[in-house]
Amino acid sequence: MEKPKYRRIMLKLSGEALAGERGFGLDHEVVQGIAQQIQEVVKLGTEVAVVVGGGNFWRGAKASAQGIDRATADYIGMLSTVMNALVLQDAFEKIGMETRVLTAIEMREVAEPYIRRRAIRHLEKGRVVIFGAGTGNPFFSTDTAAALRAIEVEAEIILKATKVDGVYEKDPVLDPQAKKFDDLKFIEVLNKRLGVMDSTATSLCMDNNIPIVVFNLNEFGNIKRIVMGEKIGTLVKEDD
């Protein structure tokens, strides 16, 4: 059997991805589909870390705009990411995957506190590690958490799951003629404000030379295809 291209990956899931077409809450069929896609990759021997957002339950920036203190709103958002992490853990374990949830904010009754060496050890043992509560700091997105954790656990690539098949110059839903990029450099993403990830996350990846693949999560098998080296979506990386 052909060997996977990547030994260890970071998968970034938005909270909205877990909601499916509902846009809010959870779609259990979608969650099960994500679990099955990750199981395919684990069976190849690739180590998988996951950072999940919480936008299907709470949007800190939106709540702040409505008058809630921004730091408080962000902490509430961190709690929603832990809810999603526990949902993913349950789905993964129901199909036989070993899983650990590590949180940046301690809540020992439901998850382990984030410790870098412990996270790496779990990955080495073949467990899927799900990181909850973002970075543990307000004003930082879960995109930044994904970049930071990827660097810390020495992931080789970040897979940014979206509803479209890559990065476009404009929103392809609003403009069907929008150009899709197959490859981009980090500096282009920043200069063109393409919104692959927020600028802090993009800069972290650029400074630490961690490539990002933006791909369509809704096409079953895409995660495995990327891990096997197939060109899917848009690849963002430094100069060769």
Report how far residue 8's alpha carbon sits from residue 54's, in angstroms, rounded to the nearest whole number. Answer: 24
What does the pLDDT look like over 18-60, one tens digit per residue? 999 888 999 999 999 999 999 999 999 999 999 999 999 998 8
Domain borders along the chain are: 8-237
pLDDT at 172 over 90: no
Mean of the per-residue pLDDT values for the chain? Answer: 95
Determine how many CB atoms are found less than 10 A away from the CB of residue 93.
Answer: 13
6-10, 19-23, 163-167, 215-219: the lowest-pLDDT one: 19-23
In the chain, the amino acid numbered 209 is N
Show the 3-state SS of the chain.
CCCCCCCEEEEEECHHHHHHHHCCCCCHHHHHHHHHHHHHHHHCCCEEEEEECCCCCCCHHHHHHCCCCHHHHHHHHHHHHHHHHHHHHHHHHHCCCCEEEEECCCCCCCCEECCHHHHHHHHHCCCEEEEECCCCCCCCCHHHHHHHHHHHCCCCEEEEEECCCCEECCCCCCCCCCCEECEEEHHHHHHHCCCCCCHHHHHHHHHHCCCEEEEECCCCCHHHHHHCCCCCCEEEECCC
Q: What is the pTM of this model?
A: 0.95
For residue 1, the model assigns a pLDDT of 63
pLDDT at 197 over 70: yes
Identify the band that residue 195 occupies on the pLDDT scale cut at 50, 70 and 90: confident
pLDDT at 62 over 90: no
Nearest to 131 by CA among 196, 213, 48: 48
Integer angstrom CA distances of residue 81 from 54, 102, 111, 117, 192: 4, 11, 12, 22, 29
What does the pLDDT look like over 115-171, one tens digit per residue? 999 999 999 999 999 999 999 999 999 999 999 999 999 999 999 999 999 999 988
Q: Are 13 and 145 in contact (CB under 8 A)?
A: no
What does the pLDDT look like over 78-119, one tens digit per residue? 999 999 999 999 999 999 999 999 999 999 999 999 999 999
CATH of domain 8-237: 3.40.1160.10
For residue 26, the model assigns a pLDDT of 96
For residue 240, the model assigns a pLDDT of 61
Report how far residue 19's alpha carbon sits from residue 22's, in angstroms, rounded to the nearest whole number. Answer: 6
**Interacting residues of 125 by C-beta distance below 8 A, sequence separation 6+:** 98
Q: Are 54 and 15 in contact (CB under 8 A)?
A: yes
For residue 59, the model assigns a pLDDT of 84
